Amino acid sequence: MAANKSWPHLCRVTFAVFAQFSRQHTMNGLFTFNLRCGRGRSHPPLAKLSSVLQPVLKRASWTLLTTITVVASLLVFPSALPWMIAAWIMLHSVFVLRGWPGWFPLVACCAIVIVKRPYWPTSLIILVSIMAVVAAFRALGTKQLPRIRRELAWSGIAVLCISWTLFAIDWMATSQSRRDVAMDSSRPVICIGDSLTAFGYPDVLSTQITVPVINLGVDGLTTTDALGMIGKIQSAEPQAVIIELGGHDYLKKRSRSETATNLTTIIDACHGVDANVVIMEIPRGFITDPFSGLERELARKHDLELIPDGAIRKLILWSKYSPLGMLSDSSGHLSDDGLHPNQRGNKHLANCVVSTLVKMYGEKIVKPE
């Protein structure tokens, strides 16, 4: 009889436990609940454990999310810099609209931009300065000026959005030339560079466009070595010159200023024979750029077309030595040694050049299929 009486009581206890867990889990999304059963008796040890674990799990989740966001931001390609900054400004806006100070996303973004050492146009200097001012105001005005801080929340977000928009437009304009060009089918396209050029993308390019292609790629070529090839470039009277130089200058510890001077000399020599210049952005590090966006600076200064460094970075990312390459089939790899292009890599680089030439000369430069 005692066993028969205990079964209804056990069922009531079980139902109460699961009902309470379901209600708490659905409403709060946390694995914490007050275990109550029978005649309303509670279990203090479980409630105490819940109160201890909840803030710990919250801090751990916040730390993990912040770490992932910071690492991802540090790995962003220079061409995507505006979108990385936009993500941090959006996070700041969410914090502010929820009534939080919101200074941390702006401070983190400013620090990441400084660490990455990109090219610093005036628009980026202004944007980072505004972010720093807004972050300082949000941090210092949290207690001293709460009412003013609330009233100016939307103003700060609006100023950030406007300054970001101007920066994004300016940044994207860096990679585009404003020179008027006209295609001359009798004048060749010259490709000059180090091993990334010498390994064969100009040969693929010659099968894709309607004008002759001259390959002046030499393994290990530096900008100093390339100065000796200016006469050969000018004598060919090219209509466009694709420059992929500067990587070995860094590897051989040449200074940024020396590399910039040599590239400027080559660019001026090309312009001297009325050749349009396309410059490839050279990646010299995955997080920080020791040459501080040299190619972007030259593209802006000399009004050149720029092929972003994502073109070359993809050779590394889609190789067996990177996580993406390890997880993908080898048939999609663009490099066999983690840097130099294989046959698919040469086609990838050639496609990047073709896309740039089409922007300059139109579809008529592409051979019909």
Bridge partners (DSSP) of residue 37 are 41
CA dist., res. 130 & res. 134, Å (int): 6
Boundary-marking domain end, from 70, 98, 130: 70
H or E element, residue 244 = strand 240-244
Q: Tens digit of pLDDT for each residue in 304-336? A: 999 999 999 999 888 888 877 777 777 788 888
Q: Taking 80 as the threshold, does the pLDDT of residue 183 lie above it? A: yes
Is pLDDT at 107 greater than 90 in this prediction? yes
Choose the most confident range, by mean pLDDT, from 9-18, 19-28, 261-270: 261-270
The verdict on 55 and 143 lying in the same domain is no
- Which strands, in side-by-side order, build the sheet including 276-280? 213-217, 189-193, 240-244, 276-280, 305-307
- Which stretch, 49-58, 328-337, 342-351, has highest mean pLDDT? 342-351
Q: How confident is the model at residue 369 (pLDDT cuts 50, 70, 90)?
A: confident
| CA 72 vs CA 66, 75, 79: distances in Å | 10, 5, 14
pLDDT at res. 132 = 96
Which CATH number goes with the domain that contains 289? 3.40.50.1110
For residues 128 and 231, state if they share a domain: no
The model's confidence at residue 54, banded by pLDDT at 50, 70 and 90, is: confident
User: Does some domain include residue 337?
Assistant: yes
61 with 83, same domain?
A: no
Shared domain for 226 and 110, answered yes or no, is no
Residue 180, domain member (yes or no): no
Grade residue 137 by pLDDT with cuts at 50, 70 and 90: confident
Quick one: average pLDDT of 41-63? Answer: 69
Is residue 223 located within the same domain as residue 297?
yes
179 domain residue, yes or no: no
Is the per-residue pLDDT at 21 higher than 50?
Answer: no
Residues 45, 164, single domain; the answer is: no
Specify the pLDDT at position 36: 42
Whether residue 290 is found in the same domain as residue 352 = yes
Average pLDDT over residues 66-79: 91
Lowest mean pLDDT among 149-158, 175-184, 229-238, 251-260: 149-158
Choice among 23-37, 244-258, 276-290, 321-335 with the minimum mean pLDDT? 23-37
How would you classify the pairing of strands 36-37 and 41-42? antiparallel
Residue 35 confidence class, pLDDT cut points 50, 70, 90: very low
Same domain (yes/no): 249, 139: no
Query: Domain range holding 145?
Result: 75-173
What average pLDDT does this structure show over 119-133?
96
Residue 154 clears pLDDT 70, i.e. is over it: yes
Going by pLDDT thresholds of 50, 70 and 90, the confidence category of residue 291 is very high
Q: Tell me what the mean pLDDT of segment 261-267 comes to.
A: 97
Question: Residue 354 domain-assigned?
Answer: yes
Q: What is residue 18's predicted lDDT score, i.e. its pLDDT?
A: 42
Domain assignment of residue 125, yes or no: yes
Q: What total number of domains does the chain contain?
A: 3
Residues 57 and 82 in one domain: no
**pLDDT value at residue 10:** 43
Q: Identify the domain boundary among 13, 45, 70.
A: 70
* 21/192 Cα distance (integer angstroms): 68
| pLDDT score for 22 | 45
* Contact partners, residue 192, CB within 8 Å, separation at least 6: 216, 217, 221, 226, 229, 233, 241, 242, 243, 244, 245, 266
Same domain, 36 and 96: no
Q: Provide the mean pLDDT of the chain.
A: 85
Is 282's pLDDT higher than 90? yes
In a domain, 244, yes or no: yes
Question: Residue 11: is its pLDDT beyond 80?
Answer: no
Residue 306's DSSP bridge partners are 279
Residues 6-30 have a mean pLDDT of: 45
**89 & 64 share domain:** no
Domain end (from 70, 92, 117): 70
* Domain presence at residue 178: no
- Per-residue pLDDT for 15 more than 70? no
Question: Does some domain include residue 184?
Answer: no
DSSP 8-42: HHHHHHHHHHHHHHHHHHHHH-SS----EETTTEE
Q: Are residues 34 and 167 in the same domain?
A: no
